[in-house]
Amino acid sequence: MGLSRRGFIVTGLAAGGGLALVYGVRRLDDGDATARFASMSPGSVGLNAWIRVAPDSTVTFAIHRAEMGQGVTTSLPMMLAEEMDADWSRVNYELALVDRDYFNFGMVSHGRPFGDIEGRFWAGVGTSLMRRVFHISGLSMTLSSASIIDAYDSLRPAGAAARATLVLAAARRWGIDADGLKTERSLVIDPATGQSLTYGELAEAAARERPPVRPALKAPKDYRIVGTNVQRLDLPAKVDGSAKFGVDTVLPGMLHATIRHSPVFGSAIASINTEGVLAQPGIGSVVQVG
């Protein structure tokens, strides 16, 4: 069968794009971030890179953006808890470890560089290829008031996927169809019998379930957490002084460096009184940069 150069290129792109599309929607993470996040709390179970469940049903969310007063340690957990149907009174957070699964992409995809992907094959292919490149690069930044829009398309599916696996685990334990079950406040409930199981009881089994490729997301009219006035999760530690900031870090043998610039912008330093500086108590060394 003959195949023109144009046909070869189109076919190759379609095949590659198909692989990229599967990569983009099928895997919330590559497993490494999930295992590392779970290992931070022995006895707890990681359902994906953002969600960890303890035996007592305490749910801990990995927050992959820097908290600088803008409230991401509450707003991002709200999105996860909403889709997961977690009990907000038993929710907390930890700052995520460095991992490529926490890459930035949402703020780019919302700019629609390839146009609307709904019903447009090539737009979907281009967007999925970009997602893969961003994932491989592991680029993760907090900037431009973009944390919410950046996380919108990753955290909601992560929460919904976790909920789906918990429901599947409950259905398997009860030997019934998962479609008839509902969730609320970290419980999976069978309305027909009134019996329920906590997320803590189901987490280990849920981690073995295969999450859906496209987990069902809530309609805004069904939100019970997002859009409400909840207490910020980071406030208690900031009020009682237990919160740890970068400036609080103390390491063995740690030294502090102070940069001394020329007093006039654009000028060059003619000389440095290194001996005079070193004669002062507590000075270890003087390093000239540039």
- pLDDT tens track for 121-135: 666 677 667 767 776
Contacts by residues 151-155 (CB-CB < 8 Å, ≥ 24 positions apart):
151/64, 151/65, 151/76, 151/79, 151/106, 152/79, 152/106, 152/110, 153/105, 153/106, 153/109, 153/110, 154/28, 154/105, 154/106, 155/50, 155/76, 155/79, 155/80, 155/83
Segment 83-88 shows an average pLDDT of: 98
Given a cut of 90, whether residue 149 has pLDDT beyond it is no
Confidence of residue 88 (pLDDT cuts 50, 70, 90): very high
- pLDDT tens track for 245-266: 888 999 999 988 888 888 888 8
Question: Any idea which of 14-23, 86-95, 105-114, 248-257 has the lowest mean pLDDT?
Answer: 14-23
Percentage of the chain exceeding pLDDT 70: 79
- Whole-angstrom distance between the N-terminal and C-terminal Cα of the chain? 64
Q: How far is CA 238 from the centre of its chain?
A: 22
Most confident residue range from 21-30, 114-123, 180-189, 276-285: 180-189
Separation CA 141–CA 68 (nearest Å): 13
**CB-CB neighbours of 37 under 10 Å:** 26
Given a cut of 60, whether residue 21 has pLDDT beyond it is no
Given a cut of 90, whether residue 200 has pLDDT beyond it is yes
- pLDDT tens track for 92-110: 999 998 888 887 766 565 5
Q: Report angle CA 172, 175, 179 to the nearest 5 degrees.
A: 75
